[in-house]
């Protein structure tokens, strides 16, 4: 895949009553898209899947991406009501804890994150490392709703990429994280511990059962051999018509075989073993040790 290295910000405007404004902010190092979802009437906003920049070559952190998100919030006169993540990310470090501290807004993630944490606590051999109830203000269940000004955000459990991934649906916008890619790129991987291709297929079908005009905002874009610019928005109808993996007429068993075969060729993301130790703490580093520094633990030969 080609490297997309230009920061891009795009606004998907509200379509009228019950429809949010959505801004997507591309993070080029990990191909992640960060979102601001806002009620046009009250200017209440949710920040979704914001990145705390991590350089895996030097093990250094910086705040350029979250600063960019907060600048957009200020420029548009928005007030942050929620700091949300769709799942504990494997390819980037989440900015949840820092944004909660900076904005005062509560942070939230899916209620199955403790189950994900249990898997990774065993992998890291750190049985007491993670406590989602401590590090998130809300653990959200299937069908639960959040108020965003005059709008409502509904939670859909969308497992497969992880066992506890969730989709946020707000009016005619759905934030579908690592399920779908853009129609010309297909779908996301399902091979991390706790992932399951069959479950991911079922989650994608639930997403594609939303109204055809629903805007689907994906979690990542890496471009294609034919497309150099990042993209992250397409409607349900567009995915059903032309998504190269799951368009109408695709058979479940064919997709599962294709997905599992492809996943078997993929390397681990270069940030995964650092990112999950931090993300399963809500984006907090482990407590500093006696020298005042923070340390991460890496399982050798586990993968």
**Under DSSP, is residue 84 helix (H, G, I), strand (E, B) or coil?**
strand
The distance from CA 54 to its chain's CA centroid, rounded to whole angstroms, is 16
Q: Please identify which residue in the block is written with the tokens 């501290």.
A: 101
Predicted TM-score (pTM) above 0.85: yes
In the chain, where the domains are located: 9-279
Q: How far apart are CA 192 and CA 91, in angstroms?
A: 11
How many Cα atoms are found within 13 Å in the side-chain-facing hemisphere of 8?
16
CATH architecture of 9-279: 4-Layer Sandwich (3.60)
- Output the pLDDT for position 2: 36
CA distances from 62 to 55, 135, 244 (A): 8, 21, 36
For the chain, give the percent of residues with pLDDT over 70: 98
51-78 pLDDT, tens per residue? 999 999 999 999 999 999 999 999 999 9
Tell me which H or E stretch contains 274. Answer: helix 272-279
Tokens linked to 216: 């689907």
pLDDT at 1 over 50: no
Q: How far apart are CA 299 and CA 70, in angstroms?
A: 35
Q: Please check whether residue 54 is in contact with residue 207, taking contact to mean a CB–CB distance below 8 angstroms.
A: no
What residues are paired with 10 via a beta bridge? Answer: 24
């Amino acid at each position: 895949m080609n490297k997309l290295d230009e920061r891009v910000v795009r606004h998907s405007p509200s379509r009228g009553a019950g429809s949010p404004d959505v801004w997507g902010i591309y993070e080029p190092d990990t191909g992640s898209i960060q979102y601001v979802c806002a009620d046009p009437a009250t200017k209440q906003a949710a920040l979704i899947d914001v990145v705390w920049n991590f350089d895996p070559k030097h093990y250094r952190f910086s705040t350029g991406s979250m600063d960019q998100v907060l600048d957009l919030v200020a420029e548009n006169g928005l007030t942050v009501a929620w700091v949300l993540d769709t799942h504990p990310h494997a390819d980037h470090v989440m900015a949840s804890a820092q944004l909660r501290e900076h904005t005062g807004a509560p942070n939230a993630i899916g209620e199955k994150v403790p189950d994900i944490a249990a898997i990774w606590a065993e992998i890291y051999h750190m049985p007491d490392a993670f406590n989602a109830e401590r590090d998130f203000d809300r653990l959200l269940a299937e069908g639960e709703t959040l108020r965003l000004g005059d709008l409502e955000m509904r939670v859909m459990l969308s497992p497969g990429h992880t066992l506890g991934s969730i989709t946020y649906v707000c009016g005619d916008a759905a934030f579908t994280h690592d399920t779908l890619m853009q129609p010309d790129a297909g779908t996301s991987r399902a091979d991390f511990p706790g992932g399951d291709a069959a479950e991911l297929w079922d989650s994608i079908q639930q997403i594609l059962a939303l109204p055809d005009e629903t805007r689907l905002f994906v979690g990542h874009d890496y471009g294609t051999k034919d497309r150099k610019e990042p993209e992250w928005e397409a409607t349900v109808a567009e995915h059903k018509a032309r998504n190269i993996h799951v368009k109408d007429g695709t058979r479940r068993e064919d997709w599962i075989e294709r997905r599992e075969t492809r996943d078997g060729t993929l390397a681990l993301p270069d940030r995964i073993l650092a990112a999950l130790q931090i993300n399963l703490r809500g984006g907090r580093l482990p407590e500093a040790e006696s020298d005042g520094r923070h340390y991460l633990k890496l399982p050798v030969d586990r993968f």
